[in-house]
Structure 1
Amino acid sequence: MTTAIQHGAVDAARDSRRMGRGFWIVAAISFLYLFAVSAPSPLYGIYAAQWHFSPTTLTAVFGVYALTLLGTMLLAGSLSDALGRRPVIAAALVVQAVTMVLFLFADNVGWLYAARLTQGCATGLVTAAVSAALVDLQPANRPGLAPLVNATVPAAGLAVGALSSGALVRYAPAPTRLIYALLLAGFVALIVILLTMVPETVTQRHRARLGSRVGVERPLRRAFLATVPVLVSVWALSGLYLSLGPSLALTMEHSHNALLGGAVIFLLCGCGAVTGIVMRGSAPRRAMLVGCALLGTGVLITVASVALSVPALLYVGTVVSGCGFGAGFLGTFRTLAGLAEPERRSELITAIYVVAYLSFSVPGVIAGILTTRIGLHDTAIGYGLVVAALAWIALPATARHCYRC
């Protein structure tokens, strides 16, 4: 009897270690995915110079990614519940590896469209599966770890990806190729590691159904509408930074150093990730109110930097805005998810991401069109004022309608 108990304890410890190892491997997949999403941003200026396309085309390329991601997530977001986490994540990694090949051999804007479209499909396919796998594999003694990783690791990936890409463009050979070759090797390695070292957590398989339900319960509609301004402002700002942010920084600095372009994205997303960690224990309503105030203030500082042509203020505004980004989205997500009934929570989360990714893509494309017509300077000022206004509007709406959080 004693021997059987000892064997059971050894098996349980081995399973626990395997689950813990699998958790961090999936976290690494999430990180590298978002690293790859921001990696092209510092290169857009080089592409535009080589292939002679306008800011409208640049933001359209970015918009294709976001809209394809949203469409794929709505269509195939629940596949891992039916087929298992590992097969879906592995398939998404294969698609992402194909994306890196497309970027690697791109020699005109058509290849760029194809690469971003494929990347949107890969990210849309993996997002829900990775989020669910992190919850499944979360260490039993650390119950808050999965939500924290889900909230902060993607932002950290965006931050490090942009900065690393900018550094390679500035200091390494083959600036439009090397980053993608390294990422391709990373994704191929992760496919092997996933299939050999990560346990499958879905044991009950069933027939796959395409399509995700989207909805907001009637009692939550007022609170949901109250969060829309901050959702739109947070994601519209991040979309602008990832598409036109490097161009704005280089124009203000009168420089061609791509590292500066990557730095503004690094500051925005990195500060967002750090703020998410710092405020993880705060009440959702408080996080959201702090996020609105910081975002509104930071964007106004950024607008002042553009209007007065003071580059240093751009970085200050980006840091403050980044803190607002992290706190605002964390607070919004936790506010709504906490109010929803468990059986309707996935529908509400999908609705949140619909608003988020539309805000991520559509305003950026509009900004690209305006940049072509009135210039980057005036577009950045107008865009920033709209985002700041939305953030300040969200403050009283949050205070009034999210009092239950």
Structure 2
Amino acid sequence: MPRLLSPRLSFAGLAAVFAAFFFAAGAPTPLLSLRQQEWGFSAGTLTIAFSIYALGLLASLLVGGSLSDHIGRRPVMLAALYGELASMLVFLFAPSITWLILARALQGLATGLATSAFNAAIVEQAPAHLKKFAGALAGASVAGGLGIGALLAGVAVQFNPDANTLIFAALSGVMVLAIAFVGRTGETTAKRPGALRSLTPRLELPAGIRGEFYAGIPVHIAGWMFPALFLGLSPAVLRLYFAVEGGLAAGFTSFLGPFAAAVSSFMFARHPARRSTLLGVILILAGIVLVLLGINETWLPAVWVGAALGGIGFGGSFGGQLRLIAPHIQPHQRAGVFSGIYAAAYLAFSVPLIIAGQLVPLLGLVPTLQSYAAVIMAFAALGIVIQAARMRQDRVAKPVPAGSAV
């Protein structure tokens, strides 16, 4: 039997493998736009091809999100990696948009199965002094992987005539290596009964976190709708509205927000969770206002600055919400609770974008984008009000130190 890797090496490696799932999820953004030009399918079909990933992920989270709490983290992580490898191979050889939609759905199912298991395993493998950092690292893996995947795929589209083969052959190799790596990591949780019962679709929300979870829903909606706008619609906006062609511009525009979110998640991790959440959602509101200004004035630099600003806010608000909830979760509840959080997140990531894609032929591209931005602004404003109120409640509930002035 091969010798198991140390927890420290497993911690770093699992974070890298988890990021690879989202690198692969971001890569199709410029590639789908290229296929749209080559195969001539509609904007509505494009958003379905993009968003079916998130719907598959959501379904997988609801069914299998708690499975690793019962059978162990490693078997679930390996199953997810085999599913991801299968989706990469379908992408590699897909002859039509129907096959690409199938590949995206399979990718979503695999990533959903991976999400709660990897989040839990990364925290459990982390050294004691890095437990707080582990939560930020898992969140950064999601956002950073999406952004870097979109950027590098855009570079490949710009400079390689067969970018699809290059990207998905390389990602297939990465998944093979990841399977070998995860197979040598140690198991971090004991098996317990109830695996079959855990497959019943449900969200596990212990009483101690429900208030915080519900208060964070407007933050999640605004936060996750923001990157979906860039990953799902920005290639069409650049080509049809700004007259900017090429994969590099599409990849860069899709990269800015998620990468800014990944970097900011580490910066915000040093600040109180509530403050991070509140400041983050304020920045999301400021970012979408700038994006809307850039679209209305056909001023691309404003769109880019807004993407970065909103991305910073997304990283701060999502990481802050995770840190507000994480201390109240028991170890055997961890995967189930993460599945509930990501279920809310990916509903916001997918459903509004699918609706927007179907509205484009009816309303036009720019009015649809303006309406989409208005929804983000409304939920961001609601999130600001709720988080500010809860910050005041936190201050009232916090005991005053003995001998201090009131």
TM-score normalized by the length of structure 1: 0.90
Equivalent in 285, 294, 314 of residue 296 of structure 1: 285
CA change 1:274–1:110 in 2 (3 A) is same
CA change 1:177–1:85 in 2 (3 A) is same
Contact 1:42–1:162 (Cα < 8 Å) also in 2: yes
CA change 1:335–1:22 in 2 (3 A) is closer
Structure 1 residue 404: Cα displacement: 2.3
Query: Is there any run of 5+ residues in structure 1 with no aligned partner, and where?
Result: 1-13
Matched, 1:130 2:118: yes
How many aligned positions are there? 390
| Aligned-partner residue type, residue 300 of structure 1 | V
| Aligned-partner residue type, residue 167 of structure 1 | V
- 1:404 aligned partner: 394
Structure 1 residue 147: Cα displacement: 1.1
- 2:383 aligned partner: 394
Matched, 1:280 2:276: no
- 1:384 aligned partner: 373
Contact 1:152–1:273 (Cα < 8 Å) also in 2: yes
Equivalent in 78, 81, 87 of residue 75 of structure 2: 87
Matched, 1:174 2:195: no
CA change 1:202–1:397 in 2 (3 A) is closer
Query: Is there any run of 5+ residues in structure 2 with no aligned partner, and where?
Result: 396-406
Moved more, 290-299 or 75-84: 75-84
Structure 1 residue 208: Cα displacement: 2.3
Q: Secondary structure at the match of 2:375?
A: helix
1:170-227, Cα deviation, whole Å (9 max, x unpaired): 11230222100110111112112222x3223335464622236425566765544432
- Kindly, what percent of the aligned residue pairs are identical? 35
- 1:31 aligned partner: 19
- 1:320 aligned partner: 309
| Aligned-partner residue type, residue 135 of structure 1 | V
Contact 2:136–2:319 (Cα < 8 Å) also in 1: no
Contact 1:159–1:269 (Cα < 8 Å) also in 2: yes
- 2:404 aligned partner: none
Instruction: Map 1:4-403 to 2 at 5 A.
Output: 18-195=6-183, 197-204=184-191, 206=193, 208-209=195-196, 210-211=199-200, 213-216=202-205, 223-338=212-327, 348-402=337-391, 403=393
Structure 1 residue 83: Cα displacement: 2.5
| Aligned-partner residue type, residue 269 of structure 1 | P
1:60-116, Cα deviation, whole Å (9 max, x unpaired): 122221111111111112222332222221121111111011101112111011101
1:129-169, Cα deviation, whole Å (9 max, x unpaired): 11121122112343323212112112111111010000011
CA change 1:313–1:372 in 2 (3 A) is same
- 1:6 aligned partner: none
For residues 209 and 115 of structure 2, what CA distance do their matches in structure 1 show? 25
Q: Secondary structure at the match of 2:81?
A: helix
Moved more, 334-343 or 120-129: 334-343
CA change 1:358–1:36 in 2 (3 A) is same
- 1:9 aligned partner: none
For residues 303 and 290 of structure 1, what CA distance do their matches in structure 2 show? 20
Contact 1:159–1:267 (Cα < 8 Å) also in 2: yes
Structure 1 residue 375: Cα displacement: 2.0
For residues 19 and 272 of structure 1, what CA distance do their matches in structure 2 show? 27
Structure 1 residue 295: Cα displacement: 0.6
| Aligned-partner residue type, residue 69 of structure 1 | L
For residues 52 and 326 of structure 1, what CA distance do their matches in structure 2 show? 35
For residues 202 and 40 of structure 2, what CA distance do their matches in structure 1 show? 42
Structure 1 residue 261: Cα displacement: 0.7
Contact 1:213–1:347 (Cα < 8 Å) also in 2: no
Structure 1 residue 245: Cα displacement: 1.9
For residues 171 and 346 of structure 1, what CA distance do their matches in structure 2 show? 41
| Aligned-partner residue type, residue 33 of structure 1 | F
Contact 2:277–2:316 (Cα < 8 Å) also in 1: yes
CA change 1:350–1:184 in 2 (3 A) is closer
Contact 2:293–2:302 (Cα < 8 Å) also in 1: yes
CA change 1:68–1:167 in 2 (3 A) is same
Moved more, 359-368 or 71-80: 71-80
Contact 1:223–1:401 (Cα < 8 Å) also in 2: no
Contact 2:68–2:335 (Cα < 8 Å) also in 1: no
Structure 1 residue 123: Cα displacement: 0.5
CA change 1:221–1:80 in 2 (3 A) is closer
Contact 1:78–1:212 (Cα < 8 Å) also in 2: no
Contact 1:25–1:198 (Cα < 8 Å) also in 2: no
| Aligned-partner residue type, residue 153 of structure 1 | S
Q: Secondary structure at the match of 1:404?
A: helix
Instruction: Report the aligned-residue RMSD.
Output: 2.3
Contact 2:119–2:335 (Cα < 8 Å) also in 1: no
For residues 60 and 229 of structure 2, what CA distance do their matches in structure 1 show? 22
Q: Secondary structure at the match of 1:164?
A: helix
For residues 340 and 315 of structure 1, what CA distance do their matches in structure 2 show? 37
TM-score normalized by the length of structure 2: 0.89
Contact 1:250–1:260 (Cα < 8 Å) also in 2: no
Contact 2:63–2:202 (Cα < 8 Å) also in 1: no
